[in-house]
Chains A and B, each alone.
Chain A
Amino acid sequence: MTPSYRARIDLGVAATVIAVGAVLLWEAWRIDPRSYGTVGPRFVPVFLSSAMIVLGAAIGAGALMRPSLPADPDYGFGDGDLGRVAAVIAAGAVFTLAFWAVGFMGAAATGMLLTMWVFGVRSPAALIAVPLVAAIVYQFTFMGMMGLLDPRGALLDLRPLSRLVTPD
């Protein structure tokens, strides 16, 4: 019998949970167990990661025992748009990378531009003007008013530009 969509997703969930639990259990087992008390620093992480594996196995067993269980319409990734999900996360990843490489203001402009593109903005004027204005506003608010650390870019130091907005 071919398992239903729900059962297949459940098996995927079970495999993921067991895998994550196993990695955490392996890492928890490497904790130095020495302690002054009855229970050391290793006990709770080992207990919880073992529980994770057992509960993951229970989800898997449930899927195998009821392979024809129908799914709720909003369960699983069937109606999802994983390309769009990846695009949003990729925009965030580029923001993070740009933050490291060129500092906050450059990253803010880049992140805004990419996210607007992901959300369907195609007007060239908007794609140029809005990220620039956003970068200035965010630089002023977070680095200027809130006084956050504005690190120099590891590859390119754009702080001479950002200092026009938030002088030292």
Chain B
Amino acid sequence: MTARISDEARAPIPGRRRWAGSLWFALLLASAALTACGEPCETGAVCARTCPPGGAPICAAHGLCACLLAPDAAPTAAEGPEAGPGSIDPGSDAGPTGAGGEEAPAACATPGPGDLLINELMLDGEPTEDAEFVELVNPGPGPVALAGVELTSNRGADQVRRVEFTGGCLPADAALAVFSERGAWVTPGGNPWPVTAELRSFGFANGGDFDFRLVRGEAVIDRVEGSGDVIEPGVSLNRQPDRVGPAMASHRDVDPGGRTASPGRCPGGGRYEEGCPDPPPGGGGGDGGLDMGPGDAGVGEVDPAWGDGGDGGRGSEPDAAVDAGPVFECPLPAPGELRINEVLIDGRVPRTEADEFVEIVNRADGARRMLGLTLAVEGDDGWDPRVVIADGCLPGPGALAVHPDPLDWRFEPPPLDPPVIADARLALGNESRAPIALLDEQGDVLDRFDPGGLSIVEGVSLNRSPDLTGDDWRLHDRLAPGDSSPGTCAGGEPFTVDGCPVEPVEDCAPPTLASLVINEVLVDGAEEGDRDEFVELVNVGPAPLALDGLGLWSSRGDGTLVERVAFERGCLPPGAWAIYGDRADWVGGEAATVSRAERLALPNEAPVVVELRREAEVWRAELPAGFADEGISAVRAVDGDPLAPFVPHDAVSEWPASPGARVDGAPFGEPAP
């Protein structure tokens, strides 16, 4: 299904309609992965970010730092340099950088007249000059080197340099759309030879005669001229016939479908590399799937963008026809395509709620429409909507991290069609543990997250395990370094159609009654006070045990149990830890995170109960009052055997106690002697 953002669907609120986007932005998104720049940076500027091989960090809108990558897979050695196909040099005027600045291979021919064509011009971009572009096409059978090629056009009677190419090639039967924003340059089929260039003046007159030239030294590779009478706002000029004709005509006349522009693509929207097929209906294109057509409304019909289009308005500004802008494929999601993948329920002080988020991932290979998409929390009367998205498109593959404040919402990559928010009241209760659901426009559940029984750690999100595909939920730092990764895979990579990289997961299994043992307890310390009282925990299994949510409880003199230690995170490796009242005295356990660590205060004159609790599991040790003498611990008669009774330590060893070790001082975690 091809969902043009038009009047196909009902508008849940006023102010929703067809999308009309700037081309440069749309194309930028073809393969961008973004993160926030530390400081505001100018769009198109080089910014600070570590990008994967072949990526170039360029500041996009909102101060986001994009890693521009090629849409296709990594190149083979035969295809080109290791930089990665289609990556665009960030455009530092200093010249080629990194992989993007590789010399063009010898296979790329130096172009002569006719080897490169100026095929399409957008001279009066709408809504801004950012939409203006020049499309270059290589009509030949082999790649053409761009180094030394200059694009010039007239300013009055003079020719002004617009672009100076410094490196890279244009593949055979491929097109390059050159925008004023370097990050928006695009070759839809990818380019194994990254193009580098220096941008000069890139603002074209909207009227008057035009004269564009591609030159290399003294040689004119191509030239197109024409009268400004044919320039229309928001409509490009294209060779008529495409790539062949000597004259430039309105794109609408070149494309039987009446589209207004097709930067980097055939007039009908297909790729030159593929012989200009018509774009498949409904399928999301991996590179953004641009469809530049006028949409269902037809050319000239009112396009109210988000608006409802015409309830009168002010008398001084009557309704008027506004040209339709580009539309793109954005069907409603199919079952399973949208998932809740990550949730931060308990934000960290001081931002607390502001940091909380729900990550919605679009697993499809193409954008999916967010019409009526709702995040709801289960309440007494059913699903209570908290966030309602009236419209917009979620990039695919891609993600949206929904925060309470829309200012904090984060798309990866940025959306071609940003959302219209009808309601934004995300508030995730730490205590209620209410399920969260993602609902479609009809109120049907697309996906849900149930935090019941899961450990909730302040500042640490819960993430699907395995990332994106799993049905289990784990604390984020169990999957990858870091407390959360809103908008990306747990490891920070962008979501792809193949999911997320398999991260090396700390294999930290939930403890069982058989694998975790309360092995030794010192109730009455030799020292004055209770400082040397301890409880020894032993992992008798072969794998580390998860400690999140584990609590150590002990009885007071009146028999009531009090939680003394609350583990938040960490794994207990095979072996033993001795837990003291003072964290500094612990034997082992340095890496564990605890939210509480109080003195144990075990009663000397009353029976002692020590329990470990985790969710429904309870490990329990009971000792009668005065079970062992002062300074003598109680220890399992068989070290590490959860079924063995407790005996005074001096009954099985010459030592009074052995915190963190076997009764004979040998370490746990090794085969018993």
Q: Is the A/B pair a real complex?
A: no
- B binding-site residues for A, Cβ under 8 Å: none
